[in-house]
Amino acid sequence: MTAATLVTGASGQIGVFLLPLLAAEDRSTIAVSRAGKPRWAAELKRIRWRTEVDRQALSDRPVSMISAGPLELAISALDSGIAIRRMVATSSASVLFKQHSPDRNESAQMAAILEQEQRLIQACQRRSITCLIIRPTMIYGCGMDQNVSRLAHWIGRFGWIPVAGRAGGLRQPLHAQDLAQLLAAAVNRDEWNGIYAAGGGECLPYRELVRRIFDAQQLPARIIPLPGPVLAAAAGLYRRLNRGSGPSAAMIRRQSQDLNVDNRALQGLTGFAPRGFLPTPDCFRRPDAAPVAARQ
């Protein structure tokens, strides 16, 4: 019986690049998204869309699962009795950096993700299912992220951006297409198991990351350094006035902290070789009805 691929979080930024790869393979794919089928997926063949994990839609076939959304959905799929034979899941490298954040909401979020990782691993072990968990750093690539694209939108609107002091903390942006290629390959490699961090192919200071976003939009780099405590206080006030919207004080403080990972373990296992950070305007645009498989 031919294996199917089940993808949760399918309409997100990873799915934008992952589903065209899966559609090109000779296997059926069930894509799960609460929002339903997005317009950018209109031309993709051999993809069936569902708004929830539906055991009946799989007809008890063996399934390789890619969890590109909340880990809780992957755990629920296991508990539903679907005949999953291989689990590949994305988590977040933020658990390495934010679990002791002074922001209680952030630290609680990280604790929840760490717990879900362990629950997923244990659930797979009980069922003798091979499991690979990838913890990516800041993902970008099609305007759906809340880091690089948010900066790009601010810069495009105002033409300048404040940073905290020297803003020298290292960042390692990871293009969603590079992550999608890793996930698509991992479905067929049962020997790739464990938890691995995954960053982009280049580490650069936060200020340099911002400068390259200016360059991508062909704008002069107007980067205004402000004292970290002043900018953090301003960010906190902005969030209070805007019901939690905008950067937090903790985010501002992290501009001086290194948030990069070591790719060597993952590279040794999989050959992972992501690109450096040279964004184009397409990286900041949300996908529409046009095919996105060729985005770079």
Task: Compute the 3-state secondary structure of the chain and give helix, strand, coil in percent, each to the nearest 5.
Answer: 40, 20, 40
Any idea which of 13-27, 40-54, 144-158, 282-296 has the lowest mean pLDDT?
A: 282-296
pLDDT of residue 58: 64
64 band by pLDDT with thresholds 50, 70 and 90:
very high
* pLDDT, position 45: 83
> Domain residues of the chain, as ranges?
4-145+173-202+260-284
User: What would the pLDDT profile of 4-46 be if each residue is shown by its tens digit?
Assistant: 899 999 999 999 999 999 998 877 899 999 988 999 998 888 8
Task: Report, as an integer, the average pLDDT of 139-157.
Answer: 95
Cβ-contact 284, 153 below 8 angstroms = yes
Asked if pLDDT for residue 139 goes beyond 60, the answer is: yes
Closest by CA to 20, choosing from 187, 200, 180, 198, is 180
Q: What is the pLDDT of residues 260-270, one digit of tens each?
A: 999 999 999 99
Query: Mean pLDDT over residues 37-66, rounded?
Result: 82
The CA distance from 69 to 66, in Å, is 9
Return the structure tokens found at 19.
Answer: 């589903």
Give pLDDT, residue 1: 47
Q: Sign of the CA dihedral 261, 229, 238, 277?
A: negative
Pick the range with the lowest mean pLDDT from 103-112, 124-133, 134-143, 196-205.
Answer: 103-112
Mean pLDDT over each residue of the chain, to the nearest integer: 91
pLDDT digits (tens, 9 = 90+) for 230-270: 999 998 888 888 777 778 888 999 999 999 999 999 999 99
pTM for this model (two decimals): 0.93
Domain covering 4-145+173-202+260-284: architecture? 3-Layer(aba) Sandwich (3.40)
**Contact status, residue 71 vs residue 110, Cβ threshold 8 Å:** no
